[in-house]
Amino acid sequence: MPVKNKKLARGVSLVGAGMSKFGSFPEKSSRDLFVEAFQVMSNSVDKEFDPQRIEYVCIGNFSSDLFEGQSHTAPIMADAVGLVPKAAVRVEDACASSGVALRQGILGIASGLYDIVLVGGIEMMTKLPTSEVTDTLAAAGDVLYEIPVGFTFPGFYAAMASAYMDRYGAAPEDLMQVALKNHNNGALNEKAQFGVTIPDWMEKRKQSAEKKGKPIPEWNDEMDFLHDDRANPMIAWPLRLFDCSPITDGAAAALLVADDIAKEFTDQPLKIIGSGQASDYPLHDRSDLTSIGAAKLAAQEAYQMAGVTAKDIQLAEVHDCFTIAEVIASEDLGFFEPGKGFNQAEKGITTRDGALPINTSGGLKAKGHPVGASGIGQVVEIFKQLRGRAGERQIKGDPKLGLAHNVGATGQTCVVHIFQREE
Amino acid sequence: MSEKEIPFTAYEFQQYLIQGELMASRCVDCQKIYLPVRAICPDCGTSNLEWIKLSGKGKLAAYTSVYIGPSFMNDLGFGRDKPYLTGIVELIEGPRISARLLGLDPENPSEIKIGTPLEFSGIEIGEEDNISPQLAFKAGE
> Is B133 in the same domain as B64?
yes
Q: What is the mean pLDDT of residues B88-95?
A: 97
**Looking at the structure, do residues B20 and B80 belong to the same domain, yes or no?**
no
Residues spanned by the domain of B8: 3-53
Q: Which chain A positions have a beta carbon within 8 Å of B64's beta carbon?
A: 154-155, 158-159, 161-162, 236-239
Indicate yes or no: CB of B109 within 8 angstroms of CB of A237.
yes
Residue A119 CB neighbour total at 10 angstroms = 31
* Residue B82 to residue B67: CA distance in whole angstroms: 7
CA distance A411 to chain B (A): 16
Burial of residue B5 (CB within 10 Å: 0-12, 13-18, 19+) is: exposed
Q: Are B71 and A134 an interchain contact pair (Cβ–Cβ within 8 Å)?
A: yes
Are residues B117 and B130 part of one domain?
A: yes
Helix axes A97-110, A374-386, angle to 10 degrees: 70
Chain A residue closest to B81 (CA)? A234
Question: Is A282 an interface residue toward B (CB < 8 Å)?
Answer: yes
* Catalytic position from the list A183, A319, A369, A417: A369
Contacts of B88 in chain A (CB under 8 A): 159, 283-284, 289
Under 8 Å between Cβ of A252 and A98: yes
pLDDT band at B124 (very low <50, low <70, confident <90, very high): confident
Question: Could B68 and A154 be called an inter-chain contact, meaning their C-beta atoms sit closer than 8 Å?
Answer: yes
Give A357-412 pLDDT, tens digit per residue.
Answer: 999 999 999 999 999 999 999 999 999 999 999 999 999 999 999 999 999 999 99
Element (H, E) at A175: helix A172-186
Q: How much of chain B is helix, strand and coil, in % rounded to 5?
A: 15, 40, 45
Tell me the per-residue pLDDT of A5-31, one tens digit each, with 9 for 90 and over. Answer: 789 999 999 999 999 999 999 999 999
Q: Does B97 touch chain A (CB under 8 A)?
A: yes
Instruction: pLDDT band for B5, please (50, 70, 90 cuts).
Output: confident
How far is it, in rounded angstroms, from Cα A102 to Cα A98? 6
Which residues of A, range 208-237, sit inside 8 Å of B by Cβ? Answer: 233-237
Does residue B62 share a domain with residue B39? Answer: no
User: Cα angle vertex A223, ends A175, A188, to 5°?
Assistant: 75
Residues B111, B79, single domain; the answer is yes
C-alpha–C-alpha distance, residues A354 and A81, integer Å:
39
Same domain (yes/no): B77, B121: yes
Chain B residues within an 8 Å CB radius of A138: 70
Q: Per-residue pLDDT tens for B27-59?
A: 999 999 999 999 999 999 999 999 999 999 999
Put simply, whether the predicted model's pTM sits higher than 0.80 gets the answer: yes
CB contact under 8 A, A282 and B84: no
Cβ of B48 under 8 Å from any chain A Cβ? no
Q: Residue A225: what pLDDT?
A: 97
What pLDDT shows up at residue B3?
61
Total number of domains constituting chain B: 2
> Closest-CA residue in chain B for A288?
B61
Residues B13 and B49 placed together within one structural domain of the fold: yes
> A72 catalytic, yes or no?
no
Helices (H), B1-141: 10-18, 71-75
SS3 of chain A: helix, strand, coil, percent, to 5: 40, 20, 40
Of B30, B53, B76, which one is at a domain's C-terminal end?
B53
Please give the mean pLDDT across all residues of chain B.
92
Taking the C-alpha atoms of residue A118 and residue A113, their distance in angstroms, rounded to an integer, is 14
Q: Does the pLDDT at position B20 exceed 70?
A: yes
pLDDT, position A131: 87
Q: What pLDDT score does A2 carry?
A: 61
Q: Which of A139, A405, A115, A384 is nearest to A270 (CA)?
A: A384
Last residue of one domain, picked from the residues B11, B32, B53: B53
CATH of the domain at B75: 2.40.50
Looking at the complex, does the CB of residue A203 fall below 8 Å from at least one CB of chain B? no
Domain end among B53, B68, B90: B53
Q: Does B62 lie in the same domain as B49?
A: no
> What DSSP line would sit under A185-228, residue for residue?
HHTT-TT-TT-S-HHHHHHHHHHHHHHTTPPPP--SSHHHHHT-
Residues B45 and B73 in one domain: no
C-alpha B104 chain-centroid distance = 16
A233 pLDDT more than 80: yes
The Cα–Cα gap between B122 and A51 comes to 59
Shortest Cα distance, chain A CAs vs residue B89, angstroms: 8
Q: How many alpha carbons fall within 13 Å on the CB side of residue A238?
A: 22
What's the pLDDT at B122? 77
Provide, as residue numbers in chain B, all residues whose Cβ is less than 8 Å from the Cβ of A282. Answer: 36, 98
Active-site residue, A369 included: yes
Report the pLDDT value the prediction gives residue B2, as an integer from 0 to 100: 60
| Residue A134: HSE in the Cβ half-sphere, 13 Å Cα cutoff | 23
Of A142, A147, A160, the CB nearest to B62: A160
* pLDDT tens-digit map of A312-367: 999 999 999 999 999 999 999 999 999 999 999 999 999 999 999 999 999 999 99
User: Over 70: is that where the pLDDT of B61 sits?
Assistant: yes
What is the reported pLDDT for A78? 98
Give the per-residue pLDDT at B131: 72
Helix axes A30-44, A73-80, angle to 10 degrees: 50
- Say which amino acid occupies A81: V
- Whether residue A283 lies within 8 A of chain B, CB to CB, comes out as yes
> Which of A279, A285, A322, A328 would you mutate first to test chain B, the one with the most B CBs within 10 A?
A285
One domain for residues B21 and B76 = no
The alpha-carbon gap from B72 to the nearest alpha carbon of chain A, in Å, equals: 8
Please tell me whether residues B73 and B118 are part of one structural domain.
Answer: yes
Beta-carbon separation of A285 and B96 below 8 A? yes
Best B14, B88, B123, B130 residue to mutate vs chain A (most A CBs within 10 Å): B88
Which among A58, A95, A244, A414 is annotated as catalytic?
A95
- For residue A144, the chain B residues in CB contact (below 8 A) are 10, 36
Measure CA of the first residue to CA of the last residue in chain A; give whole Å.
35
B-interface mutation test, from A237, A244, A280, A289, most B Cβ less than 10 A away: A237
Specify whether B82 is located in the same domain as B39. Answer: no
